[in-house]
Amino acid sequence: MGDYTLRLQVASRDPTTLQTTTIDDYYPIKYRYSDQERSALYSITGRLVTRDGEPMPYMNVLVGGLPVIATTDLQGRFVLSPLRLGTYVLTIGSSPGCTFTPINGSALITISNSSVTRDFRCNDTGGRVLGTIADSAGKPIPDVLLNLSGAAGSGETYSNVNGQFETSSLPDGTYTVTAFREGWTFPTQTVTLQGQRITRNVTGSNTAPRILGYVRDAQGQGVAGAYLYGSGESAYSVTNRDGYFESTVPAAGSYQVAVDADGFALKAVSVTTNTSATVTLEPVGRQMVSGYVSNASGGTVSGYRVTMSGTGPAMETVTSASGFYRFAQVLNGAYTVEVRRPNSESVGARPITVSGADLIEVNFVDKR
């Protein structure tokens, strides 16, 4: 084993001057082994698991007296290398309330003629707190920070998407359990651990003003994926598979909300905070307004701007190379179709009424 330096030499040639430039780079290489030395190197592998056999990731495992360290992966596995023949003692990083003991073999590891595998289990010297965090209706509350503090120690964890949590092992003692998530309040609890696992469920109350309710179709079925927009066109919320929406807002009161869903007409409604609202959407009709714009001699004109405003959302398009334009999915009602030249001069405007016809044709002639 020794230290080496790698010399990397790169030569480049300028095609315009035909001059050659040589660049030398040097890279130090440490701990390079010969084939003979490499054949005499071994490793210690293993896993770290909890008392219940669950993997313990991101734990440091060290070889006593040597600069050899490994960090466990998501499965709790570690690999310590390179090691020579000899006897070793492993040091495992700190985990509160946890004492590690080998599952297979002695804590003293001897490498005699091959690599060694040694697994370790955390034997809790304290207890754990587990449970579920939900609202008064039993709906899980995720991402709640749960903190335990006491004279014997402290710990914290977060609730998962199902509202479930479990702390790491804690020394025996009495702890104050507090939970925190913005916009919610939770009762404070006290728990005494004596090496056991204690279940403590937590019920939270949402104190933040919210808009909530359901978006449904004419048959009363939930509309999934509907967007609810407020001022500034920022989305308040998107409905779930049941058509339910819920979103916190800055202050209590009434809010004007636009509800937009594919296949349905845009609808504006007023909702009051902390009061469930039901928004019923109407399907969009299949009416189409289209036509041609031509010049005085009957030729087609392209790039003319065509707008339509009235009962439904305002629409805008430009004529194609053949002078054609089209507006699809138009709601029944009264509209005005206007055509303007590329310089914004008006060609003309025409009122129309959409009342169930599948196709309405509105043509214009630029007589200039």
Say yes or no: 190 and 145 in one domain: yes
238 pLDDT exceeds 60?
yes
Say yes or no: 144 and 187 in one domain: yes
Domain boundary among 280, 300, 332: 280
Q: Decide which of 6 and 180 is more confident.
A: 180
5 falls within a domain:
no
| 59 band by pLDDT with thresholds 50, 70 and 90 | confident
7 falls within a domain:
no
Distance CA 58, CA 71 (A): 6
Over range 157-181, report the average pLDDT: 89
Say yes or no: 190 and 252 in one domain: no
| CATH assignment of the domain containing 151 | 2.60.40.1120
178 falls within a domain:
yes
Say yes or no: 340 and 293 in one domain: yes
SS3 327: strand
Say yes or no: 119 and 132 in one domain: no
Q: Decide which of 196 and 46 is more confident.
A: 46
Instruction: Answer for the pair 135, 204: CB distance below 8 angstroms, yes or no.
Output: yes
Percentage of the chain exceeding pLDDT 90: 33
Say yes or no: 295 and 245 in one domain: no
Domain boundary among 55, 89, 124: 124
146 falls within a domain:
yes
Domain boundary among 177, 206, 235: 206
pLDDT at 21: 67
pLDDT at 364: 94
Rg, the chain, Cα only: 36
188 falls within a domain:
yes
pLDDT at 363: 93
pLDDT at 54: 80
Say yes or no: 194 and 219 in one domain: no
Distance CA 220, CA 241 (A): 14
Say yes or no: 101 and 58 in one domain: yes
Q: What is the pTM of this model?
A: 0.39
Determine whether 291 is exposed, middle or buried from the number of CB atoms within 10 Å of its CB (0-12, 13-18, 19+).
Answer: buried
Over range 212-222, report the average pLDDT: 90
* Domain of residue 318, residue span: 287-366
11 falls within a domain:
no
| 329 band by pLDDT with thresholds 50, 70 and 90 | confident
Say yes or no: 148 and 183 in one domain: yes
| CATH assignment of the domain containing 330 | 2.60.40.10
Say yes or no: 235 and 187 in one domain: no
Say yes or no: 119 and 70 in one domain: yes
357 falls within a domain:
yes
| 287 band by pLDDT with thresholds 50, 70 and 90 | confident
158 falls within a domain:
yes
Over range 193-200, report the average pLDDT: 86
Say yes or no: 56 and 100 in one domain: yes
11 pLDDT exceeds 70?
no
* Total tally of structural domains belonging to the chain: 4
| 39 band by pLDDT with thresholds 50, 70 and 90 | low
| 292 band by pLDDT with thresholds 50, 70 and 90 | very high
pLDDT at 230: 80
pLDDT at 1: 47
